A and B are shown apart, each in its own frame.
Chain A
Amino acid sequence: MNIVVCVKQVPDTATERKLRSDDKTLDRDAADGVVNELDEYAVEEALRLKEAHEGEVTVLTMGPGKATETIRKALAMGADKAVHLSDDALHGSDALSTSYAMAQVLKKIGFDLVILGSESTDARTGVLAAMLAERLGTPQLTLANKVDVDGTSITVQRITDYGFDKVEATLPAVVSVVEKINEPRYPSFKGIMAAKKKPVETLAIGDASIDAAQVGLTAAWSSVVDFAAAPPRAAGTIVKDEGDGGAKAAEFLASKKFI
């Protein structure tokens, strides 16, 4: 089974995240880049499926040169090889452009299964998996907390408001995973050393038949008009519990008409 797992480099939530004042895109230099956390669960699930059914796990990322750090992490966890879509023309791409560019690469490299995290911690749009399925014309098995593959059929548990749906489809398919699906492994020392020797193919847009007019900031279907730091919250009232903390909190809630 040929599994492609999509990973994204995102700014570390623990560091200050900013937008650029010039073109209002993410300031990638302001914060440390890390693997999008939910994508680690996607890598883990890909590795588990490979271990159960054989095959190959390819890491796919789109992003500037720095994104190779993210690829190395996935390779160190155990993925076999990587494809890095990197081109200045992609800067500022929105979700529609990103899904288009990634779908073009996926068509070029081929796949039985595409797995990704259900959203990224920076943009948090949660649309990429659905958009890839739409563009590729393949079944969408998203928000999965359990994935089973049997020959050419795939079954997932899709998280819903009321519990979960059991969803069935035929491969090839696009899957997104939620956090509770597994526990991602830590790269071993051996894995880290082996990752250095694994092949990473870097593609520019022309290598994947990506039309420059469909990507980048100028092609974007939506744009940031303006942004500003959120005004700091007004300092609240903090009291020490001296046996009446609950009652005082109740008074506060009553003053705000919550009770």
Chain B
Amino acid sequence: MSEILVLVEQVEGEVKKVTLELLTLARSLGTPAAVWAGPGITSEAKARLAEYGADKIYVAPSSDIVEYVVAPKAELLAQLVADKSPAAVLVAATPEGKEIAGRLAIKTDSGVITDAVGLGEGFVADQSIFGGGINVQSKVSKGTPIVAVRPNSTAPEPSAGAGAEEEVSVTLSDAAKAARIVERVKQEKGARPELTEAAIVVSGGRGVGSAENFSIIEQLADSLGAAVGASRAATDAGWYPHQFQVGQTGKTVSPQLYIAAGISGAIQHRAGMQTAKTIVAINKDPEAPIFELADYGVVGDLNQVVPQLTEEVNKRK
């Protein structure tokens, strides 16, 4: 079967869950080959990639690849597309993953599909557009299919691959080295999972009422091992940092479980979470549109309902 390149997402050497999802997905369509862009691959990371089916692991250890914005990774993938003639290239549909896909599409004269939530035979991709209102099947018609797949679209399943390592040297063009990263600033985010990757997201909105009161939301999230999100009303009010905003102008999440507390469910918010598999809503207004989406809804004061839910979750652990 043909090779399918999977660009590895990693944080400080640790392979992110979305990459394991992409390897699982790639296995159903061909032979997955992981691409490690930059230095710092560890034996644990290699073992993890092989465990989830990577037949090959292309390692491009040049530090240049990670010192400039996006372009070097696209150049590396373009070189691999030329050398290995893969059947497709999969990247995570993160903001950076999509940018890499975009540049790669131009470099290889190939079509690109972003935000796929599924991928089938012939690389026909499923997408959910207009805030989840319409399901679309799309297909790349020219070149090598380049598909950015949303985190949480596939359940990662181990199935050992050979994991044969092959070092790749890439010569970067001057254009790829035009935007230099001079400093990386890490902002504390504690032990919670990354919002767009999390299997469970607990979000608070206007009904939370204050920044201090967001601790109620955080406690529920921590009991479930979830990420915390916020509606725009909450981030605009300064109750929770902007980078946690879920919605049209914020992050798009597609978790297994989304719990919306004190969120009315305005269309702008729904655009960012409507593809969650299971939705639970807690709101004191029985007319709140979020209840139209909810698999389970509690009409009540979140100040009572959420702490009780947290307590019950902790009890059952």
Contacts and interface: CB of A to CB of B under 8 A. Distances in A.
A256 B313 CA distance: 13
Contacts of B245: 179
A163 B111 contact: no
Nearest to B142: A221
Contacts of B280: 249, 252-253
A237 B297 contact: yes
Given A166-B185, A241-B304, A241-B305, A125 B98 contact: yes
Interface string B155-186: 00000000000000000000100111111111
Contacts of B268: 13
A122 B111 CA distance: 19
A9 B94 CA distance: 24
A28 B10 CA distance: 40
B282 A167 contact: no
B39 interface: no
Nearest to B184: A165
A204 interface: no
Nearest to A117: B249
A213 interface: no
Given A13-B267, A127-B99, A131-B106, A249 B309 contact: yes
Interface string A159-176: 111111111111001000
Nearest to B223: A259
A256 B74 CA distance: 41
A22 to B, nearest CB: 16
Interface string A73-99: 000000000000000000000111001
Contact of B299 (A138, A168, A238, A243): A238
B62 interface: no
Interface residues of A, number: 84
A240 B299 contact: yes
A206 interface: no
A166 B178 contact: no
A94 B142 CA distance: 12
A31 to B, nearest CB: 10
A138 to B, nearest CB: 7
Contact of A250 (B102, B111, B309): B309
B143 A221 contact: yes
Given A133-B71, A134-B102, A139-B178, A259 B139 contact: no
B154 interface: no
A215 to B, nearest CB: 14
Interface stretch (B48-56, B80-88, B288-296): B288-296
A141 B68 CA distance: 10
A140 B100 CA distance: 11
Contacts of A99: 102, 106
Interface string B60-79: 00000000011100100000
B45 interface: no
Contacts, number: 283
B135 A227 contact: yes
A250 B316 contact: yes
B43 interface: no
Given A94-B111, A95-B102, A245 B305 contact: yes
A81 B317 CA distance: 62
Given A19-B134, A259-B317, A140 B71 contact: yes
A222 B112 contact: yes
A233 B139 contact: no
Given A37-B248, A245-B298, A249-B298, A135 B179 contact: no
Contacts of B278: 256, 258
B298 A164 contact: no
Interface stretch (B29-37, B123-131, B204-212): B123-131
B139 A222 contact: yes
B295 A226 contact: no
Given A130-B98, A238-B296, 7 more contacts: A37-B249, A96-B111, A123-B129, A143-B96, A166-B184, A229-B134, A258-B278
Interface of B: 11, 69-71, 74, 94-96, 98-103, 105-107, 109-115, 124, 128-143, 175, 178-187, 189, 194, 200, 224, 242-243, 245, 248-250, 252, 256-257, 267-268, 271, 278-280, 282, 286, 291-301, 304-313, 316-317
Q: Which 9 A-B pairs rank lowest in CB-CB distance, beginning with the nearest?
A: A241-B300, A246-B308, A127-B102, A221-B111, A250-B312, A139-B178, A163-B187, A222-B111, A246-B309
25 contacts: A96-B106, A122-B130, A133-B71, A133-B103, A141-B69, A161-B94, A164-B187, A165-B69, A168-B179, A168-B180, A169-B180, A220-B141, A222-B112, A222-B139, A224-B137, A227-B136, A229-B134, A237-B295, A238-B296, A238-B298, A241-B299, A241-B304, A246-B308, A247-B312, A249-B312
